[in-house]
Amino acid sequence: MKFLRNIFDNAHAKLNKSEKTKKLFPLVDSVDTLMFTPNHTTNGGAHIRDGIDLKRTMMFVILALIPCLLFGMYNVGLQHDLANSTIEWSSFDQFLYGLMKVLPFVVVSYGAGLGVEFIFAIKNGHAVQEGYLVSGMLIPLIMPIDTPLWMVAVSVVFAVVIGKEVFGGTGMNILNIALTARAFLFFAHPTSMSGNNVWISGFKEMKETGNLVDGVSGATPLGDLASFAQDQPAYSSLGGFIQDGHSFVEAMWGLYPGSIGESSVFPIMLGAIFLLLTGIASWRVMASFFAGGLVMALILNQFAGENAYMQLPAIHQLMYGGFLFGMVFMITDPVTAAQTTKGKFFYGFLAGFLGILIRVVNPAYPEGVMLAILIANVFAPLIDHMVISTNIKRRLKRVKIA
Amino acid sequence: MSKSIKIRKGLDIRIKGEAEKSSIEAPLSSTYAIKPTDFHGLIPKLLKKVGDHVKAGTPIFQDKYRDHIKYVSPVSGKIQEVKRGAKRKILEVIIEADKEISYEAGVPVDIASLDREAAKEALLAKGLWPFIKMRPIDVVANYTDTPKSIFISGFDSSPLAPDYDYLLYTRDKEFQAGVDILKKLTEGNVNLQLRVKGGADASFTQVKKVVTNKVSGPHPAGNVGPQIHQIDPINKGEVVWTVNAQDVAIIGRCLLTGRYDASKLVALTGSEATNRKYYRVIIGANASDVLNGNSNTDNVRYISGNVLTGAQIEADGYIGFYDSQLTVVPEGNEHKFFLTKGWLEPGFKKLSNNSAYPSKIFGPKKFDVDTNLNGEERAFVVTGEYEKVFPFDIYPVHLIKSVMINDIDSMEKLGIYEVAPEDFALCEFVCTSKINSQEIVREGLDVIHKECM
């Protein structure tokens, strides 16, 4: 470790020599603080401090995302294999294919995002903050696999600059960065972000060359469900949909087309358990988000009538789309969530409730969860304001009683 | 009426280095100091010059704006030096002590016969007033106020805290006398808080004229802040006074004997200290008398007070006016490789209140800690962690943010009148973003003091 330490110390010494190179300090410092917890000691106030820091917190979220990432890689390969009539792969080959497809997303996401962060760090003369570490991993996982990489880069830059840096950087943003990136693409390039052609790797190509296996529509389960409200539904009834590989258990495993990391419940639950055990994510937000979605889905069940989509059992409904991924990794982002303990319950519930409502009632937006979380982000400060107002009133009342 | 309160939120920080319960008479120091910086917000006006001879109890300086409040010399001797800092601010007045202490002449005070004004006069005249602090603002009390109640905590729950039962052992008469005069100052109660569990010293259990409340729960259960909040909360415009238990005994002793005899026990604690015991010293003593050979000297930090709220001093610095503890901990000024000792280590031995470290469950009974910040300062990101250790019906993060933007109206609404910097010490300890919240709260209180009181 001495050897590494010397490299950094030398680099700092060299940078400090001239005013010009001093500006590059954040570059070296960021790598340095990544490799070594700095030698800063407490100065004023408490003389000892908790071992936790933002780097560890962020890194734990990334660790929680690893199962989703690995599953996503496998599923990308699997879906490609299933759709392509010319190939017959082993599971390992499927994974390798997925790896080759997904890795560029991760590289582009981190490259573009951290690039922007570095520019702002140098411009403002502060250290690079850790906020983007998690966003950078989330963004690939919520993209359809056939999204062009340049679009990913553009959306990342948009999200980091407009979503975060204009508000003052890490900890100051109002909207969830990863979802800002996705929403930007969703509205700027809808054809690359929705419909039936983007969820399987190389889908359009296979369609053109005729290699596509017959009957593969490329639709996500939510796409199929949404088609019940349209003129030509993919299935004649809900029963048909469920029997065709969409049972509850199959929904748990999630081996169907979808955004890269969000289709399977299993790895998401692994991440959820890890985040809850380590106390990184708020169980209050998660639980209330789930409750909100469940309540809305149950309400819709009551008014289903002839609408097959609304007949889908409530719990089954929640397994699809980004609902659970949003519950574990998106809504729990502490910066954009409500900050008060009570507020967290309202906040989570609101997001879950709206998520299912938007998804089912407006089939043009099967990804209602994304929009619902962004709406809840906007409402979070209002929720906090109301909670705090009641606290202020309660303590003012104390005077009158006494 | 006595109450029983339960503190649910908080954290007992278990670190190595408790003091053993036996006491040593520390030798008389060669120098003593009275430090204006111990009394926040004080602007001192010197009454003596360098070279002047003083006795124990002779006023050395007074509050420039509240000139009845005199700060007296703890020992007799010659004023050796007036140490000044930036803008000629007085940091320390150092007194070279005589071999034998001679006291200002005084007669025992008959407390029972005093009325409120006379009681105040007696405390002010004897230089005992600075022991009394007030909430809000957490500064030396105003003698023109009449507090709605007075709070004395009968135990200290902070890390490695001295045992108050030991400090007060056989001091029951002095403690009673101190309580007697405090009782004269308020129309309400003198509240004494003791732990629910475990017996307390007779000084506490036998004392009269107090309302004894029982407190249970983790630190900060022993701080007066949460105790006041639950028993007799402060609203805007109200004032509560607080006195340390050992200082009550000092007040009592000085009134009973008529002379300024400010000796007290100071616990030597911390993992780097050896021979950790209680030392009997006089207020303002030089730390080197206690540390003398009893501590590692290589790369350590000396703290007057506890690790959460104390002040850093030099090895030959002076023990703070209100402190009854001296802590020595290792400095953490080294780079720590991220996988072995740094931010991504497994963490079975790292002190943390966060479940991201397995030490929360599997850790040792007592932790080794150093003064490393364990990270860098960031904006607020993680939420809910302050609330876990802050036993007030107040939103701590929002209060801090209101101070940051200097919004007096919000500060008042969010409860700045009820808190003191020390109440935020645990918040500061657990903060992922390493924000110096005690400092921020202090700034807020200063603004309130200036603008609203």
What is the model's pLDDT at position A44?
A: 79
Residues of chain A contacting B402 with CB distance shorter than 8 Å:
none
What is the model's pLDDT at position A401?
A: 65
SS3 call for A148: coil
List residues bridging with B53 in a β-sheet. B78
Residues of chain A contacting B417 with CB distance shorter than 8 Å:
none
* Cis upstream peptide for A221 (omega within 30°): no
B31-97 in CATH: which number? 2.40.50.100
List residues bridging with B318 in a β-sheet. B286
What is the model's pLDDT at position A196?
A: 86
Q: What's at B284, amino acid-wise?
A: G
Q: B211-216 and B4-6: which strand pairing?
A: parallel
Q: B190-195 and B149-153: which strand pairing?
A: parallel
Whether residue A402 lies within 8 A of chain B, CB to CB, comes out as yes
Residue A111 CB-half CA count within 13 A: 11
Q: What whole-number distance in Å separates Cα of residue A346 and Cα of residue A338? A: 8
To probe the interface with A, which of B382, B410, B423, B428 has the most A CB atoms within 10 Å? B382
In A368-397, the residues whose Cβ lies within 8 Å of chain B are: 384, 388, 391-392, 394-395
* Cis upstream peptide for B220 (omega within 30°): yes
Kindly report, residue by residue over A330-358, the tens digit of the pLDDT. Answer: 999 999 999 999 999 999 999 999 999 99
Terminal Cα distance for chain A, rounded: 63
* Cα A137–Cα A140–Cα A143 angle in degrees, nearest 5: 145
CA-wise closest residue to A334 among A172, A128, A209: A172
Give yes or no for a contact between A366 and A223, defined as CB atoms under 8 angstroms apart.
Answer: yes
Element (H, E) at A75: helix A54-83
What is the model's pLDDT at position B326?
A: 95
Residues of chain A contacting B271 with CB distance shorter than 8 Å:
none
| Burial of B42 per CB tally in 10 Å (0-12, 13-18, 19+) | buried
Nearest-by-CA chain A residue for B413? A392
What is the model's pLDDT at position A128?
A: 86
Residues of chain A contacting B375 with CB distance shorter than 8 Å:
37, 49, 52-55
Going by pLDDT thresholds of 50, 70 and 90, the confidence category of residue A98 is very high
To probe the interface with A, which of B158, B234, B236, B395 has the most A CB atoms within 10 Å? B395
Nearest-by-CA chain B residue for A128? B378
Handedness of CA A58, A64, A65, A70 (dihedral sign): positive
Angle (deg, nearest 10), helices A25-35 and A2-15: 160
The per-residue pLDDT string of chain B (453 residues; one tens digit each, 9 = 90 and over) reads 789 999 999 999 999 999 999 988 888 888 999 999 999 999 999 999 999 999 999 999 999 999 999 999 999 999 999 999 999 999 999 999 999 999 998 889 899 999 999 999 999 999 999 999 999 999 999 999 999 999 999 999 999 999 999 999 999 999 999 999 999 999 999 999 999 987 788 999 999 999 999 999 999 999 999 999 999 999 988 999 999 999 999 999 999 999 999 999 999 999 999 999 999 999 999 999 889 888 888 899 999 999 999 999 999 999 999 999 999 999 999 999 999 889 999 989 999 999 999 998 898 999 999 999 999 999 999 999 999 999 999 999 999 999 999 999 999 999 999 999 999 999 999 999 999 999 999 999 999 999 988
In A261-280, the residues whose Cβ lies within 8 Å of chain B are: 277-280
Mark yes or no for CB contact B376/A48 under 8 Å.
no
Q: B59-63 and B23-25: which strand pairing?
A: unpaired
Give yes or no for a contact between B17 and B271, defined as CB atoms under 8 angstroms apart.
Answer: yes
Nearest-by-CA chain A residue for B382? A334
Nearest-by-CA chain A residue for B234? A399
Å between A283 CA and nearest CA of chain B? 11
Mark yes or no for CB contact B398/A339 under 8 Å.
yes
Residues of chain B contacting A43 with CB distance shorter than 8 Å:
436
Q: How far is CA A380 from CA A275, A289, A373, A374, A376, in A?
A: 22, 13, 10, 10, 6
Residues of chain A contacting B303 with CB distance shorter than 8 Å:
47
| DSSP H helical ranges for B206-355 | 224-231, 245-257, 287-291
Q: What is the mean pLDDT of residues A304-329?
A: 90
User: Does pLDDT of A1 surpass 80?
Assistant: no
Residue extent(s) of CATH 2.40.50.100 domains in chain B? 31-97
Mark yes or no for CB contact B382/A57 under 8 Å.
yes
Mark yes or no for CB contact B370/A48 under 8 Å.
yes
Q: What whole-number distance in Å separates Cα of residue B445 and Cα of residue B40? A: 11
pTM above 0.90, yes or no: yes
Mark yes or no for CB contact A337/B383 under 8 Å.
yes
Residues of chain A contacting B397 with CB distance shorter than 8 Å:
339
In A168-227, the residues whose Cβ lies within 8 Å of chain B are: 168-172
Averaged pLDDT of chain A: 92
What is the model's pLDDT at position B404?
A: 96
In B403-432, the residues whose Cβ lies within 8 Å of chain A are: 413-415, 425, 428-432
Angle (deg, nearest 10), helices A25-35 and A91-124: 130
Å between A29 CA and nearest CA of chain B? 11
Å between A357 CA and nearest CA of chain B? 28
Kindly report, residue by residue over A53-86, the tens digit of the pLDDT. Answer: 999 999 999 999 999 999 999 999 999 999 999 9
Nearest residue, CB atoms, A127 vs list B338, B353, B376: B376
Kindly report, residue by residue over B344-402, the tens digit of the pLDDT. Answer: 999 899 999 999 999 988 989 999 999 999 999 999 999 999 999 999 999 999 999 99
Going by pLDDT thresholds of 50, 70 and 90, the confidence category of residue A402 is low
